[in-house]
A = this chain, B = another copy of it.
Amino acid sequence: MVDDAQVKAACGDAATFDPYGDTLREECGVFGVYGHPDAAAITALGLHALQHRGQEATGITTFDGQRFHSERRLGLVGDAFSDAEVIKRLPGQIAIGHVRYSTTGATILRNVQPLFAELDGGGFAIAHNGNLTNGLTLRRQLIRDGAICQSTSDTEVMLHLVARSKKPRFTERFIEALRHLEGAYAFVGLTNKKLVGARDPLGIRPLVLGELDGHPILTSETCALDIIGARYVRDVEPGEVIVFSSDKVETLRPFPQVAPRPCIFEYIYFARPDSIVGGRSVYQVRKTMGMQLASESPADADVVVPVPDSGVPAAIGYAQASGIPYELGIIRNHYVGRTFIQPTQSIRDQGVRMKHSANRAVVEGKRIVLIDDSLVRGTTSVKIVRMMREAGAREVHFRISSPPITHPDYYGIDTPDRDKLLAATHDLEGMRRYIGADSLAFLSVDGIYRAMGFEGRDPVRPQFTDHCFTGEYPTPLTDRDGEVPVRQLSLLAEAS
């Protein structure tokens, strides 16, 4: 979504959640269920399983046959929906829900999804994972036509487009609205009769169909099915619109068929290791990336040490392929939580280990291979390498189980600006020096495709979108590339 990067830049409070400012962040996860008597509780559980996709805010909207009910909160699912009273305020057998990364503190509760509108034909709620590359352009047109936007979320654009459609039936209005959109989206929507899902024509963001006691579920990842014992049915297909109502399921394909290009970062970073994405076990893909990395970039070392927890599966793979023992050389503090002690400068200078600490017994006197899944700004890596050396590591060989990130994302992943991406501004040797490792290697782009079971990347029709590594964006970037790039206009600052 559009607003977050700007808001975050303005506030700088991302540090609260990522002390090293050095990770990628998915912006959303969605969940919807149709016809289940425990719809809200099931949605809360599903969102809990999707928590890794967004920790800053969450919401659930239900329809009880007469009214819509909505509860939206800043914070974690477990905090928002652990109270039985809150679930009781969400009656009904249809529900959709959302987890969302990054808001600026209490500032923009009105941006928390699902968003709702009372249309002429009844209420409509929607939740969105992805990002529209023409969202601001559409918003500007809508305001020019007299629309009043209450949020700064690009998802609200979809509400207005549906509201303004003159088509008679809801599904037609929904599809007419979709036709205006560019970019990446996985929507779940709710009316007084229907649960609707839609995935963008390239299938950039994931959406899967599950089933629990005969009731359909739409959600971002299979782990949200597993938590409630639901069965995985199939992936919603790129470009598919699927509509559940009391008497039927409609599946529509309103867009011309194109070759899908799901986002490869789901495998590398975002999806939970126990999820099955596009038919592949995320854990196995990551482990295989580690094995592939061991074969591409071996290291003469005594122990393989994962950066917890992101590097663990690849490190297991690297260790198995290389025969070097796998050891926990870095211990993660499980209580980092949402808040963070702000130490004084004098302490900070000593190099505080709030999140990770070295396991000296494993590291001291050893040549270690450090494994992580990606390298963004490199600030964390610097600290981890230094921590390893201070704990007595004799050599530190850094291995990254994905290629260098050289381009920002515009499809719902919050990446730093290009000039903050280490690989966009340094060559390999420059990165190695910056990080302070004895050697540094990345998995090749072809290597990543190999880990996915291909011979390599198809240069003509790449099997995935891998723009962060290659700069090849699969859709127009209208907001960015307009004659005058369109910027978010938010004249109102409000604390709630």
Contacts and interface: CB of A to CB of B under 8 A. Distances in A.
B118 A84 contact: no
A398 interface: no
A486 to B, nearest CB: 14
Contacts of A51: 333-335
B328 A313 contact: yes
B45 A343 contact: yes
A307 to B, nearest CB: 15
B70 A494 contact: yes
Contacts of A496: 72-73, 109
B89 A339 contact: no
Given A68-B493, A494-B72, A357 B226 contact: yes
Interface stretch (A75-83, A400-408, A452-460): A75-83
Given A41-B343, A346-B37, A493-B69, A147 B123 contact: no
A353 B226 contact: yes
Contacts of A120: 143-144, 146
A488 to B, nearest CB: 11
A246 to B, nearest CB: 18
A283 interface: yes
Interface residues of A, number: 106
Q: How many copies does the complex hold?
A: 4
Given A160-B146, A491-B122, A327 B316 contact: yes
Most chain B beta carbons < 10 A, residue from A143, A223, A347, A358: A347
Contact of A492 (B38, B67, B147, B335): B67
A63 to B, nearest CB: 8
A370 B149 CA distance: 54
Contacts of A76: 335, 337, 339
A412 B7 CA distance: 38
A389 interface: no
Contacts of A337: 76, 78-79, 337
Interface string A73-97: 1001111011110110100000000
Nearest to A62: B493
A293 to B, nearest CB: 18
A336 B49 CA distance: 10
Given A143-B118, A143-B120, A491-B118, A341 B159 contact: no
A78 B347 CA distance: 16
Given A38-B346, A227-B357, A283-B359, A492 B123 contact: yes
A477 interface: no
Contacts of A73: 496
A300 interface: no
A228 interface: yes
Given A148-B118, A148-B160, A227-B353, A283 B362 contact: yes
Contacts of A325: 320
Nearest to A86: B495
A397 to B, nearest CB: 20
Nearest to A139: B118
Closest 6 CB pairs of A and B: A281-B361, A146-B164, A229-B350, A123-B491, A51-B335, A82-B339
Interface of A: 37-38, 41-42, 44-45, 48-49, 51-52, 55, 67-73, 76-79, 81-84, 86-87, 89, 109-110, 116-120, 122-123, 143-144, 146-150, 159-160, 163-165, 192, 223, 226-229, 272-274, 276, 281, 283-284, 309, 312-313, 316, 320, 325-328, 331, 333-344, 346-347, 350-354, 357-362, 489-496
19 contacts: A44-B343, A49-B357, A68-B491, A76-B337, A79-B338, A87-B344, A110-B150, A118-B149, A118-B489, A143-B163, A147-B148, A148-B150, A150-B150, A226-B360, A273-B359, A276-B360, A309-B334, A312-B328, A334-B334
